[in-house]
């Protein structure tokens, strides 16, 4: 009898545990925490770059090698973990690879194209040290437009040549190819059927994480870098997807959040242990994202994070070049750069990004035509696979 009471008490306790899915459901799948996180993380990226543009390479290296490193190093992993968690939701809602890939293109490419054109045709001619005829005739000018395709070029001829962080117009774009690798990898995993099987996906992500850590730490003994490699960001993206796939199983816990935060900062502080940070960093990100603070007018008006990401570094470099030594103090640069960057991000959202997303009905119409075509052409279904995910919790509940 006593054992039965203990079992009932245990079952009752487990039933009261809040899962990630319960938090999502309570917020109608739109928790405001993720909205705030996108804006805050994008702003922190700009703030962290103030050190680069104002004080140059050696000072930046010394800061990243010091005790403040985990506070800077956590920003991008959280960004990619957040992206993975939210993209996984889009992945489940999309019928086929057509709409999933199309939505990623609509979200990234139009704003990137405008940013590229403005950099080459406006910012470049203003801040180049070369005569305009030489500027436009240099091969680097035309190559810069390859940014529109995701092939990143950081330099324009003679632009910002005398800045403390010389020549770089848009260093922040180094993460964009890795974001595209994340999307392409998810597409590839969907063709293999792994992305539709949560358990297999999680096993693959964990094994990849362990192999990368062992390869860098033990086999190749890769020297500790003051920053980190893009493969760590991809790993955070994968764990973000896994967290969404297992949202009915994972507990939303304050205690687990603090343990994960401590583990993340320890991994980022100890040389060579960066690659053990993605899993705890993902939990920290998802926990914060599933908070539900009241949305203010700024958050409700639009998603300005991508515009902040695109325009922050070029604006900061321009402030340094325009103000000279006066713009090389971090506080001056930040006070001038942030309002200008945010204004450009607002314009980007309302004039470029949001209108591009209005093309979604056309994309879905094209997808419908592709689905109908796939039903009549042998083998074509392989090229537009369905993206229905067998959810870890749902599958067990129905068995």
Per DSSP, the three-state class of 64 is helix
- Determine contact, residues 196/388, Cβ cutoff 8 Å: yes
Q: In the chain, where are the structural domains located? A: 28-113+194-398
pLDDT tens for residues 153-207? Answer: 999 999 999 999 999 999 999 999 999 999 999 988 888 888 889 999 999 999 9
Percent of the chain at pLDDT above 90?
67
How many degrees, rounded to 5, is the angle at CA 289 between CA 283 and CA 290? Answer: 95
Residue 145 to residue 327: CA distance in whole angstroms: 28
Q: Is the pLDDT of residue 217 over 80?
A: no
Mean pLDDT over 377-391 rounds to 65
Q: How confident is the model at residue 225 (pLDDT cuts 50, 70, 90)?
A: low
- Determine contact, residues 31/291, Cβ cutoff 8 Å: yes
Residue 279 to residue 286: CA distance in whole angstroms: 11
Q: Is the pLDDT of residue 388 over 60?
A: no
pLDDT tens for residues 56-89? Answer: 989 998 888 889 999 999 999 999 999 999 999 9
Inter-axis angle of helices 75-93 and 176-192, to 10 degrees? 40
Q: Name which of 212-221, 236-245, 319-328 the model is least confident about.
A: 212-221
- Determine contact, residues 359/213, Cβ cutoff 8 Å: no
CA torsion angle for 101, 229, 283, 212 (degrees, to 10)?
Answer: 100
pLDDT of residue 395: 39
pLDDT tens for residues 34-51? Answer: 999 999 999 999 999 999
pLDDT of residue 263: 97
Q: Is the pLDDT of residue 397 over 50?
A: no
pLDDT tens for residues 247-306? Answer: 999 999 999 999 999 999 999 998 878 889 999 999 999 999 999 999 998 888 999 999
Q: Is the pLDDT of residue 346 over 90?
A: yes
Q: Which residue has the tokens 């094209």?
A: 366
Eight-state DSSP code of residue 227: S
pLDDT tens for residues 114-127? Answer: 999 999 999 999 99
Q: Is the pLDDT of residue 96 over 80?
A: yes
Residue 205 to residue 212: CA distance in whole angstroms: 11
- Our measurement of the distance from residue 189's CA atom to the centroid of its chain's CA atoms, rounded to an integer in Å, reads 19
Please return the burial class of 221, using the count of CB atoms within 10 Å of its CB with bins 0-12, 13-18 and 19+: exposed
């Amino acid at each position: 009898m006593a054992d039965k009471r203990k079992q009932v008490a245990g079952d009752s306790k487990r039933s009261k545990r809040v899962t990630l899915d319960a938090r999502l459901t309570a917020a109608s799948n739109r928790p405001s925490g993720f909205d705030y996180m996108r804006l805050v993380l994008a702003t922190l990226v700009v703030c962290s770059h103030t050190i680069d543009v104002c004080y140059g390479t050696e000072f930046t290296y010394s800061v990243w090698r010091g005790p403040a490193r985990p506070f800077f190093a956590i920003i991008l992993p959280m960004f990619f973990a957040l992206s993975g968690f939210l993209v996984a939701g889009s992945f489940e809602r999309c019928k086929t690879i057509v709409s999933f890939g199309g939505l990623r293109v609509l979200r990234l490419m139009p704003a990137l194209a405008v940013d590229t054109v403005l950099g080459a045709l406006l910012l470049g001619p203003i801040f180049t040290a070369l005569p305009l005829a030489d500027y436009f005739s240099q091969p680097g000018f035309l190559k810069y437009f390859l940014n529109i395709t995701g092939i990143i070029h950081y330099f324009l001829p003679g632009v910002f040549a005398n800045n403390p962080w010389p020549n770089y117009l848009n260093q922040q774009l180094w993460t964009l190819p890795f974001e595209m690798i994340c999307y392409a990898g998810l597409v590839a995993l969907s063709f293999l059927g792994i992305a539709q099987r949560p358990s297999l996906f999680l096993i693959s992500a964990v094994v990849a994480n362990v192999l990368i850590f062992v390869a860098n730490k033990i086999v190749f003994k890769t020297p500790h870098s003051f920053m980190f490699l893009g493969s760590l960001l991809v790993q955070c993206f994968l764990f973000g997807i896994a967290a969404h796939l297992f949202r009915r199983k994972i507990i939303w816990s304050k205690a687990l959040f603090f343990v994960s935060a401590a583990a993340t900062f320890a991994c980022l502080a100890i040389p060579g242990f960066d690659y053990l940070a993605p899993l705890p960093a993902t939990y920290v990100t998802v926990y914060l994202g599933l908070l539900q603070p009241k949305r203010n007018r700024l958050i409700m008006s639009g998603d300005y994070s991508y515009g902040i990401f695109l325009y922050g570094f070029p604006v900061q470099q321009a402030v340094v070049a325009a103000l000279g030594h006066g713009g090389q103090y971090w506080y001056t640069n930040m006070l001038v750069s942030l309002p200008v960057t945010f204004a450009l991000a607002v314009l980007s959202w309302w004039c470029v990004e949001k209108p591009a997303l209005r093309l979604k009905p056309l994309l879905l119409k094209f997808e419908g035509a592709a689905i109908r075509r796939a039903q009549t052409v042998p083998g074509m279904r392989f090229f537009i696979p369905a993206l229905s995910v067998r959810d870890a919790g749902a599958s067990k509940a129905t068995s």
